[in-house]
Amino acid sequence: MNTQLGTIRSESADGEVPAREFFRSLLARAGITPSYTLEPDMTCRFRAENPITDGKGNYVLAVAGRTYEPLPPSTFEVKLPKDAAFASAWLARADETELRPLAFKRTADGAAFSLPEIRSAAMIYLFHDHPVLLGMRLPQGGAHADGDSATPMFKPGDAFEVTVQAVNPSVMEAAGGILVLKAPEGWTVTGDGRIDALSAGGSAARVFRVQIPRESPAFIPNAPWPLVADFTEEGEGKRTAVFHAAVALDIPKEGHELLLTDNWTHENYPWGDWTYADYRWIDVPDTEKGEAIKDDLWTYLPCGTDVHALLSGDRADRRKFATIEKMPEATAEFDLKSVRDVTRVLIRRGGGLQKAPWKVSFAFSADGETFGPWREFLPDWQGPYADFRFDAEKARFVRVRFSSPGAACVIDEVWIFGLGR
């Protein structure tokens, strides 16, 4: 029974009619009616969360289809608390930055909403008394960030227009004020953001022109570039709304320092080159002496690449460490899969200083056969991190030797950086 009921999750179930109908009949026999319905009936591909409220008659509903298949337009009828006294409804889809008015009809115990296509998820705002909401329309249809068609991509020197929306979701009039659009330092923004008072359910839009500089020392590849809109009410000058969006810039990777080891998480992510890098331990522990290298498989990638501790990152707030026990030295060899200009290695220890290596050494090779001389460092630990920098060593293989006289040496993660190409 538990297994069959588990298949009705909207993210994974597809046509699980027996389980769905069994669950429906079970609830019906108990006298329980659904809190929402969908027309046409696609509830096996749809999920609505319990309404979120601030206790002042303002409600937010989260709705979602399946992650890999859009939900076509539908009528979503839902039961709502009696104090949900809203005059307008607004929709924010997860894959876009603008607010859309949502048509609805009140029912005896809630409302019926005319949903557009939901490609992933969306929020429905039903407010009685709430400050102005902001949205943003970004240019669409041109170049966009890799894997994200909703984030437009521009080149240095380009100019584009952004429309900022101010929406009054409340049942009473909202004061006018000033909309301001902010961009990264060195970018130029022009436009008049003054708006008059907004009637209940009313909205206004203002267009701003954004000019990107041709050159900037801040330009790095694969970075999100923020656009921030805020609204300040007239009178007291109080900022009551803020909205963040991002655009992408087509910045060549050449010459920029990038992450080369595909670590799951890092402070520099996503500024990296995907290399399918992996590693192996060179030294063989003498088990008769109690020596050991404990480095279990932590996860794997869809491409079949195993991910062990030194590249595993922080998965669901759980860290995985590699532990070297009773070995004065242990060496890990990283394979970057092609010759790169290596400029930096960052190491995070997995325990206190008493379990940190007292010395770290590096050797580099282009072919995996001939390595250059060991370069030895005494780590300068800044918190859990030690940073090591080099003058663009050409290498595909990087050996990292950990030296520790203690009973155990614990290493959390190793990041290898090099120049983009």
State the pLDDT confidence band at 319, using cuts at 50, 70 and 90.
low
pLDDT averaged over every residue in the chain: 87
Entry pTM? 0.74
Considering the chain, tell me which residue range(s) the CATH 2.60.120.260 domain(s) occupy.
257-419
Give CATH 2.60.40.10 domain extents, the chain. Answer: 133-249
In the three-class reduction of DSSP (H, G, I as helix; E, B as strand; rest coil), residue 218 is classed as coil
Which CATH number, 2.60.40.10, 3.40.50.970, 1.10.940.10, 2.60.120.10, labels domain 133-249? 2.60.40.10
| Closest by CA position to 348, among listed 316, 379, 389, 306 | 379
User: Looking at domain 34-126, does it have CATH number 2.60.40.1180?
Assistant: yes
pLDDT digits (tens, 9 = 90+) for 254-287: 888 888 988 866 554 556 778 889 999 999 999 9
CA distance 34 to 27: 8
Q: What is the dihedral of CA 166, 170, 176, 182, to 10 degrees?
A: -30
- Predicted confidence band of residue 300 (pLDDT cuts 50, 70, 90): low
Rounded to whole angstroms, how far apart are CA atoms 50 and 34? 12
Which pLDDT does position 16 carry in this prediction? 56
List phi, psi (to 5°) of 191.
Answer: 150, 155
- pLDDT given for residue 5 in this prediction: 41
> Quick one: 257-419 is in which CATH superfamily?
Galactose-binding domain-like (2.60.120.260)
